[in-house]
């Protein structure tokens, strides 16, 4: 999880009510745009031969290929986050968000193919999306109603993230399935990440960092959707 330090001024929580409201509106509007853009990019991929090419490339690499893809995705995520908090220009910030959206769309292609094939349900994406949205809205409402600072979750998420990464790498190397239990645990992890990142929107970001705030929220929502989709399409 990213813990961005305020570089442009005071935190949102310390800002004037008008500025705070404007920041929240910009952040969540941009988050909605990012989600719609992600859906649009996926739709474009699957309406063209691009999705098949991506899936073929990712599947052909086997376990080592997946580890390479995971490493590349982490590198791109780091770069996108750096751009999103850049003080250079707003164009660089939006460029970081756009880069991350495309990277997420690419890595989701094989999962969507597998999910729709094994579930035998053409509406599995809609079901997983609605469930993800419901959980996200519930967690977000909790943070904004209580206005609590959940920054204490940072070390828990860091340890949990490294543990999850270790299981994923071990699964890729030794060829065992992580199963539905792991997916349920990761849904809880993603929900906790949303709780933490939503708290950061108020307590860690400042009023000029709405692009970075929306990117971190989008990343958490994408993670939640990934594992909910895994659960809906599970063969266990």
Question: Over its length of 236 residues, how does the chain's per-residue pLDDT go in tens digits?
Answer: 444 444 444 666 566 667 778 888 899 999 999 999 999 999 999 999 998 888 887 777 666 667 777 788 888 888 898 888 877 788 899 999 999 999 999 989 888 888 887 666 778 889 999 999 999 999 888 887 877 778 788 888 888 888 888 877 887 776 667 777 888 888 988 888 888 888 877 777 777 888 988 999 999 999 999 889 888 876 55
**Is the CB of residue 27 less than 8 Å from the CB of residue 214?**
yes
Whether 8 maps to a domain, the answer reads no
Please give the pLDDT value at position 23: 85
Whether 1 maps to a domain, the answer reads no
Number of domains in the chain: 1
Whether 3 maps to a domain, the answer reads no
Please give the pLDDT value at position 24: 86
Q: In terms of residue numbers, what domain contains 208?
A: 15-231
70: how many CB neighbours lie within 10 A of its CB?
15
Whether 33 maps to a domain, the answer reads yes
Whether 5 maps to a domain, the answer reads no
Whole-model pTM? 0.83
**How far apart, in whole angstroms, are the C-alpha atoms of residue 143 and residue 199?**
6
**Is the CB of residue 128 less than 8 Å from the CB of residue 225?**
yes
Whether 4 maps to a domain, the answer reads no
Whether 236 maps to a domain, the answer reads no
Please give the pLDDT value at position 99: 94
For helices 179-203 and 210-232, the axis angle rounded to 10 degrees is 160
Look at residues 97, 67, 66 and name the one whose alpha carbon lies nearest to residue 82. Answer: 97
Whether 86 maps to a domain, the answer reads yes
152: how many CB neighbours lie within 10 A of its CB?
10
């Amino acid at each position: 999880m990213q813990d961005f330090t305020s570089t442009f001024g005071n935190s949102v929580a310390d800002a004037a009510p008008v500025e705070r409201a404007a920041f929240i509106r910009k952040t969540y509007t941009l988050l909605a745009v990012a989600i719609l853009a992600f859906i649009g990019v996926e739709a474009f991929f699957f309406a063209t031969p691009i999705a098949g090419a991506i899936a073929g490339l990712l599947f052909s690499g086997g376990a080592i290929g997946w580890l390479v893809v995971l490493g590349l995705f982490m590198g791109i995520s780091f770069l996108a986050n750096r751009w999103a908090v850049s003080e250079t220009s707003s164009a660089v910030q939006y460029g970081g968000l756009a880069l991350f959206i495309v990277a997420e769309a690419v890595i989701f292609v094989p999962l969507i193919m597998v999910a729709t094939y094994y579930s035998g349900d053409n509406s599995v994406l809609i079901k997983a999306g609605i469930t993800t949205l419901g959980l996200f809205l519930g967690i977000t409402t909790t943070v904004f109603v209580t206005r609590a600072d959940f920054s204490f979750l940072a070390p828990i998420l860091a340890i949990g993230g490294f543990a999850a990464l270790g299981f994923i790498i071990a699964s890729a190397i030794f060829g065992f399935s992580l199963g539905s239990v792991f997916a349920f645990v990761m849904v809880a992890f993603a929900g906790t990440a949303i709780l933490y990142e939503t708290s950061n929107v108020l307590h860690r970001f400042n009023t000029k960092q709405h692009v970075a705030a929306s990117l971190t929220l989008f990343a958490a929502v994408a993670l939640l959707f990934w594992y909910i989709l895994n659960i809906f399409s599970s063969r266990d």
